Structure 1
Amino acid sequence: MPFDIIEKKDDIVVIVIPTRLDASNSQDLKDIIAQKVGEKKFKFIIDLSNTEFVDSSGLGAMVSKIAHCRANGGDVKIVVTNDRIKEIFQITHLDKVLKEYTNADEAVAAFNES
């Protein structure tokens, strides 16, 4: 799989996305999230800092289990540094649903504050 998965303390799962998140790999992301949710892990950080392109299937994969995570005391947070990716989140209004951070450490800290 093209994703790096980093497990942090407090059951926080960081998933580092490659340069593209699209129809060719979005199902892999959904499968990873579903597997971790099955392991009772509900805190996710989707790290898009290396990502240059996201399509609608990639966006769908990111939010596929968000309601389930939130219902179990978790959440999905994103790391976004690319302005084009930020614009996609603004256009789709996902910036209202997913909290954006500039790096994974900042997102981990936000989980620990809540």
Structure 2
Amino acid sequence: MSERVALPEASRLTVSEDRGGYYRIVFPNGKVDGTAVRELYEVTMQLADQIEQLKLLVDLSGIEFMPSGGLGMLVTLRKKFLGSGGQLHIYVPDAQVREVFMVTNLDRLLNLYSNGDEASTSFK
């Protein structure tokens, strides 16, 4: 990566830059609550302001429950990414959480991956 980006700070999630040219957001407490959802939006917007065509991987490993607010935020982020040419990939290893995406038909709208390596190598 040629430009140096200031990584945003948050209390409920972790942001890191990967050598593959994308940024990863993880929820280390294994919880996607209201504060984490708000921070997901804020952190993503801060990165998008600094990086044209942002590549973002939201890593839901360790998450056993995905609230509707989290689902809605991922849809909101997808809409923002489409307009700017960015890419949003979501790593969903838990079968029950993945089923929530399927029941709501969000698996058809979002780029979901059950394999972490595939999620990170699928960026164009």
- TM-score band (shorter)? 0.7 to 0.9
Structure 1: 4+ residue segments shifted above 3 A: none
Which of these residues, 40, 59, 63, is aligned with residue 71 of structure 2?
A: 59
| 1:20 pairs with 2:27 | no
Instruction: Using the TM superposition, give the Cα deviation of residue 35 of structure 1 relative to its aligned residue in structure 2, in angstroms.
Output: 0.8
Conserved 8 A contact 2:78-2:110:
no
TM norm structure 1: 0.85
Q: Which amino acid aligns with 2:33?
A: D
Count of equivalent residues: 112
Instruction: Using the TM superposition, give the Cα deviation of residue 72 of structure 1 relative to its aligned residue in structure 2, in angstroms.
Output: 2.6
Sequence identity (%):
30
Aligned CA-pair RMSD = 1.8
Q: Which amino acid aligns with 1:83?
A: A
If you compute each CA radius of gyration, which structure gives the higher value, 1 or 2? 2
Q: Which amino acid aligns with 2:116?
A: A
Instruction: Using the TM superposition, give the Cα deviation of residue 92 of structure 1 relative to its aligned residue in structure 2, in angstroms.
Output: 1.2
Instruction: Using the TM superposition, give the Cα deviation of residue 15 of structure 1 relative to its aligned residue in structure 2, in angstroms.
Output: 0.4
TM norm structure 2: 0.79
Determine the C-alpha separation between the residues in 2 that align with 1:80 and 1:65.
Answer: 16
More helix by share: 1
| 1:71 pairs with 2:83 | yes
Instruction: Using the TM superposition, give the Cα deviation of residue 81 of structure 1 relative to its aligned residue in structure 2, in angstroms.
Output: 1.1
Structure 1 unaligned blocks of 5 or more: none
More strand by share: 1
Matched residue, 1:95: 107
Determine the C-alpha separation between the residues in 1 that align with 2:56 and 2:116.
Answer: 10
